[in-house]
Chains A and B, each alone.
Chain A
Amino acid sequence: MKYVGFVWKNVWRKKIRTSLTILSVLVAFLLFALLSAIGYAFKSGADAADAERLVVIDKVSLINPLPIAYRDRIATTEGVRSVTYASWFGGYYQDPRVQFPQFPVDPYEYFSMYPEFEIPRERLDAWANNRQGAVLGRELAEQFGIEVGDRMPIQATIWTKADGGRTWEFDIEGIFENEDPRSSSAFLLFQYDYFDEARAFGKGTVGWYVLRVAPGSDPVQVGNAIDAQFANSPNETETSTEAAFAQSFAKQLGNIALIVTLILGAVFFTLLLVSGNTMSQSVRERINELAVLKTLGFSDGAMLGIVLAESITIMLIGGLLGLGIGWIVVQGAAQAMGACLPGIFLSPQAMGTALVIMLGAGIVAGIFPAVKAMRLSIVDALARA
């Protein structure tokens, strides 16, 4: 600890060089923060998935509907605790370019299946009692400036009504919250009963089923049992865990993880070069001084530590600043683009990784100059001057 002041003075010996190095490090970690937040969004909340929830879809494709009659057969399958269903509505509010999901569901079943979404009991009751009622997530309500009691017309792109109309009007009965920043609440829910009655075609079908397995049951076995029941029927099913279902979407987007890793690899390789070069220059310039320190009796270990500490300090200043700015940007982006890129989130794991990288890069960049300083022969170094 007694060297802290000394190290700090050395860090700022060449102000321009140190500032530029810190700025390079800052940019690198800002990029790291942004890329990992975006990467997180692409995982579509696979981390937030509930391990006891399974999703049942048509085996051929998610776009094929399943009969509503499957509900009871799934519910009576051994190991299934509860089951509910949802469909894809695919409409828009005012602007067709602003996309957000809408799902026709069963009010009580849905909220008991997804306890992470919180809605006041009286709002849920009010919704259940209003056939044309709907509830939406806080993010969405704020984005569109919608409050309970408003009427919200949604334009359908798929589901025309039996009367030929494409506008579905909903009374907003409630707003639900999602405290978990890892998943999004930017969607709207309305009653399946109303949906099925009013739509022009496709009656008696749902998009997919969601079920919760009973405690102690093996989700994989339950999934297999369900798929076996519907094998060789016109609608064969594919049951997967919620996490696997979310991941299958992330994978469809292509290998985002690989691209992110490539970019970060290029950035950090450059970063190591920049800071390694700064450190070796700074040691080269002070060879005399270091020799004097040794003459005064500073140990080899102290020499090593002083140089390494300098390198790590520069990394930490730049890295923490970059991470901090990244965190602010991600918070802002999550609010501004919540609907178009839901689930941007700088996870604690990513921040931990960043810290490890800062320390690691500080050590790697400083180790060669530090060893050089440690091995310095006093006589040679002083003679060179």
Chain B
Amino acid sequence: MRTIRQVFAVTALNLRNLPQRLASSAVAVVGVGAVVLVFAAVLSMAESLQRTMLSTGADDAAVVMRSGSTSELNSTLLNDQVLIVANAPGVLKDGDRPVMSAELYVVTDIRKRSNNTDANVPFRGVQAGAFDVRDNVRITEGRMFEPGKNEIVVGQAAQSEFVGLDIGQSIRFGQIEWAVVGTFEAGGSVSESELWTDVRVLQSAYRRGNSFQSVRVRLESPESIETLRQALDEDPRIDPDVLTERDYYSSQSQGLVQFIKIVGYPLTILMAIGAVFGALNSMYSSVSVRGKEIATLRALGFGPTAVLISTIVESVLLALVGGLLGGLLAYLVFNGFQASTLNGVSFSQVVFNFAVTPELLGQGLKAALAIGVAGGLFPAVRAARLPVAQALREL
């Protein structure tokens, strides 16, 4: 009990004369703040990308492509193969019409607003069933494209990221003018990075004859994926890869997310190590500046434990202040920030919004706490072991 009272007394004393050590304390605070800022930025980038890509995928929808394609862009399916998939067991039917959409996925160059250079924007040809296969897609402004016309609807994210996609504008790819007639949302998923049009129109614009790249179907239930896969595997007329939409998008996002983590984590860890050095330095100097004060306290009867703990508390508090500032800055700068990058697998842009979530900030504060403890421990031990008589004689 006495020790606890002493800890409070010494800590309060330390904090009261903190302003006298402002410069060295600021170093610790800023160091930890920078770590948490970068930490939050890297993590939110990786998580936002993953969330954007994964929220696209449902468990009760399937993507069928030619086997070995790894991505829609590489696949080819002919019209009769599409019909085989549509009529296979496991596919949900609305009356006697299967809920499906055969799609063509190409890439077109459009300028990015942020750096005014051309980027590979995904351009998807869909059938009317596309809105039933994906249940989170809906037109928010304007209207749906009319089949057979050179009209497109654009995802919300694509509209704000790229130039010339506002409703009423028309955009030219090669020889063909396309009228932008509507905007759609898709629950923040990767579909919002895309432009959509009638698949027949896209086939003729890109001279793809009557070929498609993927078929999306609604499944009767998530378990029906096995029924569908087995039926198609046994059919000699088709050699497909059958994936749930969720698995497909998780395979598409893996490389990108892993890359950010492989590059981002080591950098953050390195920065954290640097911050520990900074915190150690400022705590050592705090102990050495207060040498006489600590010795006086010890002479008055304060125990070494109280001195030890109070030094660690000081370090942790400084680190937490830094962590909070870094987290706040990360939130102000990055939260809601829209960015886009090239996904190597699909060779097209993914537009995503950074989300600096409370969990992420919590993780950042935990890191700050760890840095504070690591930076305070050794100086605290030194403070506690300070030989009283000698310290009083110095200075």
Contact = CB atoms under 8 A, between A and B. Distances in A.
Contacts of A277: 23-24, 26-27, 281-282, 285
Interface string A260-296: 0011001101100110011011000000000000000
Nearest to B268: A263
A332 to B, nearest CB: 13
A4 interface: no
B118 to A, nearest CB: 6
Contacts of B106: 61, 63-64
Interface in A50-81: 59-64
Contacts of A383: none
A96 interface: yes
A255 B337 CA distance: 13
Nearest to A64: B206
A90 interface: yes
Question: Which of A96, A160, A249 neighbours the largest number of chain B CB atoms within 10 Å of its CB?
Answer: A160
A20 B280 contact: yes
B277 interface: yes
B38 A266 contact: yes
B341 A254 contact: yes
Interface string B308-336: 00000000000000000000000000000
A355 interface: no
A168 B174 CA distance: 33
How would you classify the secondary structure of chain A's contact residues: helix, strand, loop or mixed? helix
A248 B118 contact: yes
B270 A20 contact: no
A126 B269 CA distance: 50
A91 B284 CA distance: 57
B38 A157 contact: no
B50 interface: no
B108 A31 contact: no
A157 B74 contact: yes
Interface string A120-149: 000000000000000000000000000000
Nearest to B211: A201
Nearest to A166: B68
B37 A266 contact: yes
A339 interface: no
Interface string B243-282: 0000000000011000100010011001101110110111
Interface in A79-93: 90
A24 B74 contact: no
A270 B68 contact: no
Contact of A27 (B38, B108, B114, B273): B273
A34 interface: yes
A243 interface: no
Interface residues of B, number: 61
A59 B76 contact: no
A201 B77 CA distance: 12
A270 B109 contact: no
Nearest to B119: A252
A277 B286 CA distance: 12
A24 B347 contact: no
Contacts of B76: 160, 201
B69 A28 contact: no
A66 B120 CA distance: 18
B174 A60 contact: yes
Interface string B21-34: 00110110011001
A251 B173 contact: no
Interface string A154-195: 011110100010100000000000000000000000000000
Contacts of B271: 27, 31, 263, 267
A17 interface: yes
Nearest to B176: A60
A27 B68 contact: no
Contacts of A28: 274
B277 A24 contact: yes
A134 to B, nearest CB: 20
A20 B281 contact: yes
A361 interface: no
A252 B71 contact: no
B30 A157 contact: no
B277 A157 contact: no
A253 B38 contact: no
Contacts of B38: 263, 266
Nearest to B31: A270
B107 A273 contact: no
B84 interface: no
A304 to B, nearest CB: 21
Contacts of A249: 342
Contact of A254 (B70, B339, B344): B339
Contacts of A253: 341-342
Given A16-B284, A158-B74, A61 B109 contact: yes
Interface in B293-321: none
B284 A60 contact: no
30 contacts: A27-B270, A27-B277, A35-B267, A59-B109, A96-B70, A99-B344, A155-B68, A160-B76, A166-B67, A234-B207, A251-B112, A251-B117, A252-B117, A252-B119, A252-B120, A254-B339, A254-B340, A255-B114, A255-B339, A262-B41, A263-B267, A270-B274, A273-B26, A274-B27, A274-B278, A277-B23, A277-B281, A277-B285, A281-B24, A281-B285
